[in-house]
Amino acid sequence: MKKHIFMLLIAPLLIACNNNPKYADYSEYPVYEGSDLELVYSQQASKFRVWAPTATQVKLLLYDNGLEGSAYEIQNMKRSEKGTWKLKVDGNLKGKFYTFQVKIGEQWLDETPGMWVKATGVNGKRAAIIDFSETNPEGWDLDKRPPLANFTDIILYELHVRDFSVSPTSGMKNKGKFLAFTEQGTKNANGQSTGINHLKELGVTHVHLLPSFDYASVDETKLDEKKYNWGYDPLNFNVPEGGYSTDPYNPVSRIREFKQMVQSLHNSGIRVIMDVVYNHTFIGQNSHLDLLAPGYFYRMNADSTWSNASGCSNETASERAMMRKFMIESVVYWATEYHVDGFRFDLMGIHDIETMNLIREALNKVDPTIFIYGEGWTAGGSPLAEEKRALKKNAKQLKDIAVFSDDIRDALKGSWMHSEIPGFVSGIDSLEESVKFGIVGATKHPQVDYSKLIYSKEPYVNNPSQTINYVSCHDDMCLVDKLNQSKPVDATSEELARFNKLAQTVVFTSQGVPFIYAGEELYRNKKGVHNTYQSPDSINQIDWSFKEKYSDIYNYYKGLISLRKKHAAFRIPTQSLVQQNLKFLNVTVPNVVAYTLNGHVNGDIWKNILVIYNGNRKNVKVGIPAGNWSVVCHDGQINMNGIMQVNDTTFNVAPSSASIMYGQ
């Protein structure tokens, strides 16, 4: 309904602005169905076809250089079907660059490399003509996705390409580059594994890369300035970031090196997920998209100002046919050309549900084990009706697409917004129901009192496979800093480590998909900086010397991952199995949550598992079911060979810690 009003208001403006009386509103724009946008290259000819339905004229400009100099040739493109303009240029254009230039009414807009562009010169201003068969590393045709049975088997590790290797302690040569992921046998000063060997040793199944498509904020011609950015400022969605390549001037370099990274991770049994940011562009007006069809790709407010659900001054319009087509084809492109195994949608709540489900369908045709998840929220209001948006509260309508659980995150560690507010693991009670909600993966469970949750008031997913459990990510304070900032005044550093371990124990034993921020396993801190999107390396880099310094933490995290991987009971794929086999104990002590996983659930080798989380900063005695229990996790230690035997109906849980035991 809102959209309808919006169209009525905006239509006269469109006609006035674009001097284009052809279309009353965006829904009337022609839709081009073909898959040959914007360049089809062969050695014999290059065929260009650009969608610019409101243009009065379109030019193609050809260049020898990816950044400088003038065009050596400029040709007019011819009006073709469905709002496209086309031109065939004979001969082998490999090594050349091009842009399109669109005229709206009497006004020539700035040049654009287009939006479907797959290779560019330095800084992504001009499209590059390359032969993609020359971008494949040796053995690429044999590259395979590592096996994956269920989404709940996934362990996500969120990582910034630069953070991974840039520290002098990394032992890696290709600092800040995709190629760092291809370096085997790298070590820190203590001789411990770093880099890809570390990831393998840790046991994560998926590396989730922060934006690694071509973003705008780092000048690729000045990489020696060591400028840092997370990369949430998309420039070219279908091109890898040049700053992470060894030679951003050579269009092939970033493409081949991205593939080498994927291949290397696959060879180590690790899948690769891309953080995709289709919800906005670095700039709105005059972005590479906007220069093709002004206004079309973005939502506007009723007063014709740019809507801003992204908090970055613009938001794209996934519900419009050509933006939808672009998003679907873009993810399929990354999944096929680059063998990417999953996508994390930034501010997914800006996109419409229908587009997200069409993306799922399209990726299912490539490989149904490709994982899709996103932030089920926005960073501001959107003109798109709430019921149409891919929000957390609408997640049941998303098919096999997961959402982040801010419920478990903030229940465990405290408010993301108020860094001084602590959570369950720091000794705060009344958060038990929210922790329980996290344990059942945001599904419906008869023993959870949904009225007592901190955020959601009802289950929002169909199955735990749709829930991402986490306590920290790149946003806001990392876990170490947050726990430190919100600590009780008398808390010791030893206690802070306990809080940390307890938080991640809940994450790794809860139903759903666990997610950690890279370096948390090394007790990473970011010197208390809340939002490090442009902080220097000294704040953001992973310090690999911490692997020795905080070996107790590292071993515990590794133990948690191993526990989860060996025990299918923590990876139950469906809500009904969780309902039947996960039973909360009736615990009378505040700030304690305990439950059992029963009957070899999900094929687990253990018959019954008892899990107790004690958020209190003191020992608690908890009543437990009678039986012979073997304790594998207790007082901040994990030992799968068993720590002690229990044959009693009560158990003493150590302060700020979890106890996990199994019985036959």
Active-site annotation, residues: 346, 375
- Selection from 99, 30, 23 nearest residue 61 by Cα: 99
Phi–psi pair at 352, nearest 5 degrees: -85, 150
Nearer to Ca ion, 220 or 352 (CB): 220
CA–CA distance, 154 with 206 (Å, rounded to integer) = 7
Interface mask (CB under 5 A) for Ca ion, residues 170-209, using x and -? Answer: ----------------------------------------
In what side-by-side order are the strands of the sheet with 38-41? 38-41, 45-51, 84-90, 78-79
Instruction: Enumerate the H helices of 241-380 as residue ranges.
Output: 251-267, 321-337, 353-366
* Token code pair at residue 623: 């009543």
Task: Report 224-263 residues binding Ca ion (CB under 5 A).
Answer: 242
* Token code pair at residue 350: 């800006």
If binding is defined by CB under 5 A, does position 214 make contact with Ca ion?
yes
Nearer to Ca ion, 112 or 307 (CB): 112
Is residue 271 within 8 A of residue 265, CB to CB? The reply is yes
- Give exposure, 607-640, as e/b (b: 16+ Cβ within 10 Å): ebbbbbbbbbbeebebebeebebbbbbbbbbbee
Q: Which residues contact 309 (CB under 8 A, 6 or more apart)?
A: 279, 299, 315, 347, 349, 350, 378, 379, 380, 381, 382, 384
- Selection from 560, 421, 411 nearest residue 483 by Cα: 421
- Residue 22, CA distances (Å) to 233, 285, 474 in order: 33, 21, 46
State which residue has the least CB distance to Ca ion: 214
Residue 239 Cβ vs Ca ion, minimum distance, rounded to whole Å: 8
Q: Which helix (H) or strand (E) holds 644?
A: strand 644-646
Q: Give the chain's end-to-end CA distance (angstroms, integer).
A: 58
If binding is defined by CB under 5 A, does position 432 make contact with Ca ion?
no
Nearer to Ca ion, 214 or 319 (CB): 214
Phi–psi pair at 117, nearest 5 degrees: -55, 135
Kindly list the residues in this chain that would bind Ca ion in the complex (CB under 5 A): 214, 242
